[in-house]
Chains A and B, each alone.
Chain A
Amino acid sequence: MSHTSSPVPAAERRDLMRTMLLIRAVEKAWGDAYLAEEIGGIPPSLSTGQEAIAAGACAALEAGDFVFTTHRGQAAQVARGLDPRRILAELYCRRTGYNKGKSYHVTDFSRGVIGMGGIVPAQVPVAGGIALAQKMRGTDRASLAFFGDGASNEGAVHEAAALAAMWSLPLILLCENNGYCITQRDTDAIKGQSIAARAAGYGLPGVRVDGTDPEAVLAAIWEAVARARAGDGASFIEARCERLTGHLIHDTQGYRPAGELEAAWARCPIRLYGGRLRDDGVLPASEFDRMQAEVDAEVAAAVDFARAQPWPEPSEAFEDLWA
Chain B
Amino acid sequence: MFDTRLFRPGGPVKPEERDWPSFRGAINEAMREEMRRDPLVFQMGEDIALASPFGVTTGLAAEFGRERIRDAPCAEVAVVGAAVGAAMGGMRPIVELQFGDFMSVAIDQLTHQAAMLRYLTGGQVKVPLVIRLPCGGGQGAGSQHSQSLYSWFAHVPGIKVALPSTSMDAKALMKAAIRDDNPVLFFEHKQLYRSRWPVADAFRDPEHVGEFGKACVRREGEQITVVATLTMVHHALAVARALAAEGVSVEVVDPLTLVPFDVDTIVASVRKTGRLLVVDEAYQGFGIQAEVIAAVTERAFDALKVAPRRLGNPGVPVPFAPPLEREVLPGQARIEAAIRAMLAH
The reply to whether A162 and B73 contact each other, CB–CB distance below 8 Å, is: yes
Measured between beta carbons, the chain A residues less than 8 angstroms from B83 are: 129
The reply to whether A162 and B75 contact each other, CB–CB distance below 8 Å, is: yes
Selected A-B contacts with CB under 8 Å, 16 pairs? A107-B121, A122-B81, A122-B109, A125-B82, A129-B84, A129-B93, A130-B86, A130-B89, A133-B87, A133-B90, A156-B81, A159-B77, A160-B77, A160-B81, A321-B157, A323-B181
> Closest Cβ of chain A: how far from B88's Cβ, in Å?
6
Q: Mark B87-119, 1 if CB is under 8 A from A, else 0.
A: 111110100000000000000110011000111
> A-side interface residues toward B, CB under 8 Å?
66, 97-103, 105, 107-110, 114-116, 118-119, 122, 124-134, 136-137, 143, 155-156, 159-160, 162-163, 166-167, 319-323
Measured between beta carbons, the chain A residues less than 8 angstroms from B112 are: 118-119, 122
Contact residues of A: prevailing secondary structure: mixed
The reply to whether B77 and A133 contact each other, CB–CB distance below 8 Å, is: no
Cβ of B67 under 8 Å from chain A: yes
The reply to whether B113 and A122 contact each other, CB–CB distance below 8 Å, is: yes
The reply to whether B82 and A163 contact each other, CB–CB distance below 8 Å, is: yes
Measured between beta carbons, the chain A residues less than 8 angstroms from B81 are: 122, 124-126, 128-129, 156, 159-160
The reply to whether A100 and B123 contact each other, CB–CB distance below 8 Å, is: yes
Cβ of B287 under 8 Å from chain A: no
> Interface size bucket, B side?
35 or more
Measured between beta carbons, the chain A residues less than 8 angstroms from B80 are: 125
User: Could you tell me the distance between the alpha carbons of A134 and B77 in the complex, rounded to whole angstroms?
Assistant: 20
Knowing A118-B112, A134-B89 touch, does A320 contact B82 (C-beta < 8 A)? no
User: Could you tell me the distance between the alpha carbons of A164 and B89 in the complex, rounded to whole angstroms?
Assistant: 16
Measured between beta carbons, the chain A residues less than 8 angstroms from B91 are: 132-133, 136-137
> Closest Cβ of chain A: how far from B128's Cβ, in Å?
7
Measured between beta carbons, the chain B residues less than 8 angstroms from A109 are: 88, 121, 124-125
Say which residue of A100, A122, A126 sits within 8 Å of B122 (CB atoms). A100
Knowing A102-B120, A102-B121, A322-B182 touch, does A128 contact B85 (C-beta < 8 A)? yes
Measured between beta carbons, the chain A residues less than 8 angstroms from B137 are: none
> Closest Cβ of chain A: how far from B304's Cβ, in Å?
30
Inter-chain pairs besides A99-B121, A323-B118, 12 sampled, C-beta below 8 Å: A125-B81, A125-B109, A126-B88, A126-B109, A126-B113, A132-B89, A137-B91, A159-B75, A159-B81, A320-B122, A323-B127, A323-B128
User: Could you tell me the distance between the alpha carbons of A124 and B108 in the complex, rounded to whole angstroms?
Assistant: 12
Cβ of B42 under 8 Å from chain A: yes
User: Could you tell me the distance between the alpha carbons of A54 and B159 in the complex, rounded to whole angstroms?
Assistant: 34
Measured between beta carbons, the chain B residues less than 8 angstroms from A129 are: 81-89, 93
User: Could you tell me the distance between the alpha carbons of A166 and B70 in the complex, rounded to whole angstroms?
Assistant: 11
The reply to whether A156 and B128 contact each other, CB–CB distance below 8 Å, is: no
> Closest Cβ of chain B: how far from A188's Cβ, in Å?
25
The reply to whether B85 and A136 contact each other, CB–CB distance below 8 Å, is: no
Say which residue of A128, A155, A321, A322 sits within 8 Å of B82 (CB atoms). A128
User: Could you tell me the distance between the alpha carbons of A129 and B125 in the complex, rounded to whole angstroms?
Assistant: 14
User: Could you tell me the distance between the alpha carbons of A159 and B117 in the complex, rounded to whole angstroms?
Assistant: 21
Measured between beta carbons, the chain B residues less than 8 angstroms from A323 are: 118, 126-128, 181-182
Measured between beta carbons, the chain A residues less than 8 angstroms from B88 are: 109, 114, 126, 129-130, 133
The reply to whether A132 and B82 contact each other, CB–CB distance below 8 Å, is: yes
The reply to whether B120 and A126 contact each other, CB–CB distance below 8 Å, is: no
User: Could you tell me the distance between the alpha carbons of A125 and B85 in the complex, rounded to whole angstroms?
Assistant: 8
The reply to whether B120 and A132 contact each other, CB–CB distance below 8 Å, is: no
User: Could you tell me the distance between the alpha carbons of A321 and B127 in the complex, rounded to whole angstroms?
Assistant: 11
User: Could you tell me the distance between the alpha carbons of A156 and B113 in the complex, rounded to whole angstroms?
Assistant: 13
Measured between beta carbons, the chain A residues less than 8 angstroms from B335 are: none
